[in-house]
Structure formats: structure tokens, C-alpha cells
């Protein structure tokens, strides 16, 4: 199994070709690695070797932390290497914070990750990465949904709205809840 590669990197349309001692290894990397790479420059990557019945693919990461996080995300059932790579590529710190704060919208912003898969990732990784907030799995009440839609139409982002919805008094009317939420969001 290949665990580390270092050599001259050649950009390809869907990854890199790393030339090492006369051998070229095709490695899939995240967009951030591709953007920071100049053509035919030296690169060192930690490698995850993904073996399937009909294919052997290499996935490359700049740090061991990124590789470890990739392996954790890949361990969630329903997550393949392409999705795991896209999630880690967004940023290891941002990914860990999203799990700890149960930010479903962070995961849903990644292509091919829906709400259910995002919730599954959070639930399965929370015990490994720690959790600050609990994941709200239940649907919003009718009043909460009205407030949510109203705030969204005003241009507030979903993460902030979800945070404020947990803080405001649910016993009030929709109008009062909206006013409280706007005041809270203005302070953020």
C-alpha cells in the first residue's frame, strides 16, 4: 500500500500525476491543492489507497491531519471517497467545527450531500470529534417554520437562523418571534 509520495507534480484535468523515480502515480486531490500548485513543481503528499474490485485509486493530502480526517469521514456509511475528499478540501478546521456545532447546512453545501447524509455524518463523527451542540432532528414547528422562512427571505443565512431559533421564546406569536430573531441576528 502506498502511504506517501514525493516528486514532480503534473496537473491533470481531474488530479495530479506525480513523477517519482521514473514512475508516474495518478493521484486525486482536492481543488485547493490544485489551485496552489504550479505546473511541474515538487510536491509531497500523504496518500490514501482506495481499493475496489475494478479499480485502485490514490487520494492525496498535504497533511497527516487531512488524511486522518478523510479516513474518519470515509468511515461513515454512505460516504464515498469523492464526497469525503470534497468535505476535507473545504478545510479540516471548518469540517470539525461543523460536526461539533451540528451545522447541517455546511455539509449540504457540498455537492451530492443531502440533509439526511449530513445528519448521518454529524451523528457518526460527533463521538470521535466531540460535540458542542446537539443536532435537531425533529421538524420545525409551524411557527418556527414561518419565522425561518421570514428570516431567510430577509437574507439571513441558515446557520445563523437555526442558532437564533433555539434562543428565542417559542411561546410568543410569530411576529414577536421575528422581531426577537432580527434583533439577535443584528448582534451577530
What tens digit of pLDDT does each residue of 9-31 get? 988 887 899 999 999 999 999 99
Element (H, E) at 8: strand 4-12
Give dist(CA 29, CA 15) in Å, integer: 6
The full DSSP string for 66-111 is HHHHHHHHHTSTT--HHHHHHHHHH-HHHHHHHHHTT-HHHHHTST
Query: Residue 48: which pLDDT band, with cuts at 50, 70 and 90?
Result: very high
Domain definitions of the chain by residue range? 4-61, 64-129, 142-187
Least confident of 1-5, 108-112, 118-122, 158-162: 158-162
Answer whether 41's CB lies under 8 Å from 9's CB.
Answer: yes
Eight-class DSSP state of 172 = S
> Which one is the CATH code of 64-129: 3.40.50.1980, 2.40.37.10, 1.10.150.20, 3.40.47.40?
1.10.150.20
Half-sphere exposure of 7 (CA within 13 A, CB side): 17
The DSSP annotation for 114-151 comes to -HHHHHHHHHHHHHHH--SS----SPPPHHHHHHHHHH
Nearest C-alpha neighbor of 81 from the set 122, 42, 47: 47
Give yes or no for residue 84 having a pLDDT over 70: yes
Range 109-126 average pLDDT: 86
* Distances from the Cα of 171 to the Cα of 37, 108, 160, 168, angstroms: 55, 30, 20, 9
170-181 tens-digit pLDDT? 778 888 888 888
Label residue 70 by pLDDT band (50, 70, 90). Answer: very high
pLDDT higher than 70, residue 139: no
What one-character DSSP code corresponds to residue 171? T
∠ CA 163-171-162, nearest 5°, is 15
Whole-structure pTM value: 0.68
61 contacts 70 by C-beta, under 8 angstroms: yes
Domain 4-61 CATH assignment equals 1.10.620.20: no
Amino acid at each position: 500500500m502506498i502511504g506517501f509520495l514525493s516528486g514532480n507534480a503534473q496537473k491533470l484535468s481531474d488530479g495530479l500525476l506525480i513523477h517519482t523515480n521514473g514512475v508516474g502515480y495518478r493521484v486525486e486531490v482536492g481543488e485547493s491543492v490544485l489551485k496552489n500548485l504550479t505546473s511541474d513543481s515538487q510536491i509531497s503528499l500523504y496518500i490514501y489507497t482506495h481499493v475496489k474490485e475494478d479499480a485502485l485509486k490514490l487520494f492525496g493530502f498535504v497533511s497527516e491531519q487531512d488524511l486522518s480526517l478523510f479516513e474518519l469521514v470515509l468511515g461513515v456509511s454512505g460516504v464515498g471517497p469523492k464526497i469525503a475528499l470534497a468535505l476535507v478540501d473545504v478545510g479540516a478546521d471548518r469540517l470539525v467545527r461543523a460536526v461539533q456545532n451540528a451545522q447541517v447546512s455546511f455539509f449540504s453545501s457540498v455537492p451530492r450531500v443531502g440533509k439526511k447524509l449530513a445528519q448521518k455524518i454529524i451523528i457518526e463523527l460527533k463521538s470521535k470529534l466531540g460535540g458542542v451542540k446537539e443536532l435537531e432532528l425533529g421538524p420545525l414547528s409551524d411557527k418556527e417554520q414561518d419565522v425561518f422562512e421570514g428570516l431567510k427571505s430577509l437574507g439571513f443565512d441558515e446557520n445563523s437562523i437555526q442558532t437564533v431559533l433555539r434562543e428565542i421564546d417559542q411561546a410568543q406569536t410569530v411576529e414577536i418571534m421575528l422581531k426577537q430573531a432580527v434583533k439577535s441576528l443584528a448582534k451577530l
